[in-house]
Structure 1
């Protein structure tokens, strides 16, 4: 039997809940696409069903057939408290929560983005992502918001994954 859960009715993608918790109190629960950065071409249309399995894509630019894997370096079971230098100055609570969750999952990279990662070139990574998936005019968010979301996710990545990648077949 297939697992039924939350999904996006528009793209059939998997959805995760994001709990906002401040100092031991529950502030609210939100739902997000299960991707590095919320897709900027459409808003989440929450539905219940069986999400389509995601195709392996570069987590930096969305290119097909990523060849490199950056495993997570933080284990949430090992520590209750950890500090990460995260630029959240232009991120909402939802975007900040998703950026922090990104620390716990492996990242896949295409050859081009792996070179940009090695050079720690956040600006060119963002430019490449927007070149391959442009922000639509009149879409749910503007390009400035998308750039802020990408910068937040990438700042988490660079803070938590200082090592070299492995071939992606290691998954």
Structure 2
């Protein structure tokens, strides 16, 4: 028994708890896959166990072997309050909480996505993600919902990482 914790019984991936906290009140606690955007090919099936390690992949399109790393430029410990422009127009509370958590962790990018990031081309980043992982017709969510999730996560990325990437081997 090494690292027992929450996991998804369907994919074996690690799961984190997410608190929904608005204006100082706890609205609830939920559980999410430990990924930039909740997978759209299946819903989370919460279980307790040892999550399977994931191979490093591009956080934008899931391509294997990302070569670029973007560190967050916000340090939430520097101040009690910080503001981020986040497009939550079509996001649920769960998706908004996940997008906010994305501020605190580095992002990996493949060569192609790194170029799209440099161009700040959110639409092509979303198209690439959906080309590599299409939304199943009978899936848990529709493509419009997936696009809203991607747009929310990417808006956090662009707000909190305006600088140049580092080679991923630097870590």
Q: Answer yes or no: same fold by TM over 0.5.
A: yes
Superimposed CA distance per residue, residues 134-163 of structure 1 (whole angstroms, 9 cap, x where no aligned partner): 000110000000000000000000000000
Name 1:21's counterpart in structure 2. Answer: 21
Q: Pairwise mapping of residues 11-160 of structure 1 onto structure 2 (< 5 A)? A: 11-160=11-160
Deviation at 1:130, TM superposition (A): 0.2
Deviation at 1:76, TM superposition (A): 2.1
How many residues end up aligned between the 2 structures?
171
Q: C-alpha distance in 1, partners of 2:30/2:75? A: 24
Deviation at 1:41, TM superposition (A): 0.3
Q: Is the 8 A contact 2:40 2:140 kept in 1?
A: yes
Name 1:9's counterpart in structure 2. Answer: 9
Q: Which runs of 5+ in 1 are unaligned?
A: none
Superimposed CA distance per residue, residues 86-116 of structure 1 (whole angstroms, 9 cap, x where no aligned partner): 1001000111110010010000000000000
Name 1:164's counterpart in structure 2. Answer: 164
Cα RMSD (Å): 0.7
SS for the counterpart of 1:41 is: coil
Q: Which runs of 5+ in 2 are unaligned?
A: none
Moved more, 79-88 or 116-125: 79-88
SS for the counterpart of 1:55 is: coil
Q: C-alpha distance in 1, partners of 2:80/2:61? A: 32
Alignment TM-score, normalising by the size of structure 2: 0.98
Q: C-alpha distance in 2, partners of 1:62/1:3? A: 25
Q: C-alpha distance in 2, partners of 1:80/1:24? A: 13
SS for the counterpart of 2:17 is: strand
Q: Is the 8 A contact 2:5 2:49 kept in 1?
A: yes
SS for the counterpart of 2:138 is: coil
Q: Which runs of 4+ in 1 moved over 4 A?
A: none
